[in-house]
Amino acid sequence: MLYSAKVMEHFANPHNVGELKDANGVGEVGNQKCGDIMKMYIKVENGIIEDVSFMTFGCGAAIATSSMATDLIKGKPLEDALKLTNKAVVEALDGLPAVKVHCSVLAEQAIKAAIADYYKRQGIDPTPIVGNLEECEACGHDHDSCSCN
């Protein structure tokens, strides 16, 4: 299994790691198939993600995609962060082996879960904004990005 130099760099020296104490949105997602767990913390001010961090229990690809995803949404409006796709994360890392692409889906879902939590804390129903975050029983992905459907 070959990883790109960017994947190796983000795995060896991940960015934005750790718990964000003043986070006002926290999302946790997991994949029952591989055991990866990803927790994303966001600090939102005036609709902008001012700070973001993550804690991931998983393989090198899960850590690298978490790191890259946080880089891609830091300083961005919530609307832009919601548009981040697993495909964009994979492309930013110069690709992932096919068997590891599910890790990038976790990063996308962790961001959506954190944003949904932020909206809930503001007293706003996140479903119309973020969508349905239910996970697929078969693979642990949400129904929208799941390849089992």
For residue 118, give the CATH number of its domain.
3.90.1010.10
pLDDT band at 1 (very low <50, low <70, confident <90, very high): low
Catalytic residues: 34, 103
Is 36 a member of any domain? yes
Structural domain count, the chain: 1
pLDDT above 90 (res 68): yes
Task: Find residue 148's DSSP bridge partners.
Answer: none
The candidate with the shortest Cα–Cα distance to 130, out of 22, 29, 35, 21, is 29
Is 96 a member of any domain? yes
Is 40 a member of any domain? yes
**Which residues span the domain enclosing 34?**
5-130
Is 146 a member of any domain? no
Per-residue pLDDT, 137? 45
- Report how far Cα 137 is from the mean position of its chain's Cα atoms: 19
pLDDT band at 145 (very low <50, low <70, confident <90, very high): very low
Is 68 a member of any domain? yes
Sheet (strand 48-57) strand order? 25-30, 37-45, 48-57
pLDDT above 80 (res 118): yes
